[in-house]
Amino acid sequence: MMRRNASAPEFSRPVEVDRIGHTEVVHDISANAAECMALAQRFDLRGIDKLQARLRLRRARGGSVLRLAGHLTADVAQACVVTLVPVPSHVESEFTVLYGGGEAGGEGIDIDPDIDATLEPWPEGPLDLGEIVAQELALALDPYPRAPGAALDPAYGPSGGPAVEMKRVNPFMVLQNLRKRPK
């Protein structure tokens, strides 16, 4: 059995930064079954049936910024937060990542406020498109998946412990109780 390097990404599609030009290049990538299984383990998912993305990559602002715009689709199964049964879901996400501020002279970059983009430091070495898609998938997942009809027992509060009736405490009542203590 081949062991995976713990520091190596589960889903890696490296692109050399110096090969990225001003003309937009489209990269269609998808994870194979082994990569899906490894990513499911990393993100504590019950499974990933499909993960694919269409990425558009180019240099911008005179070459001082790399612009990556993408659309990912995935079919995943997460554990229900109430019952722990698998909850299948279809994930779609649009994202834009800008890389600048590094060796290509990206200091003082003005970002268009109309673009919902993340500004990342200039990559050292190859830009790993697969790892970027994996991170975007993690951000797009439902943080509290719930199976249809799953509900907490009303005898339990929102934290899962026994429900406790909250009484409003007047801070001056505490002082009043101190005055009434026998000396």
pLDDT for residue 138: 97
86 vs 46: CA distance, rounded Å: 6
- When computed from its CA atoms, the radius of gyration of the chain, rounded to whole angstroms, is 25
Q: What residues does each domain of the chain span?
A: 14-150
What pLDDT, on the 0 to 100 scale, is given for residue 152? 73
Confirm if 11 and 35 have CB atoms less than 8 A apart.
yes
DSSP one-letter code for 162: B
Q: What angle do CA 122, 125, 128 make, to 5 degrees?
A: 85
pLDDT for the residue numbered 66: 94
Tell me the pTM.
0.74
| Residue 63 phi, psi dihedral angles, 5° rounding | 95, 0
- Averages of pLDDT over runs of 10 residues in the chain (183 residues) are 60 94 96 97 97 96 90 97 94 95 49 63 93 97 92 63 59 72 66
DSSP string, 73-100: EEEEEEE-TTT--EEEEEEEEEEEEEEE
CB 96 within 8 A of CB 69: yes
Residue 168 CA to its chain's centroid (Å): 38
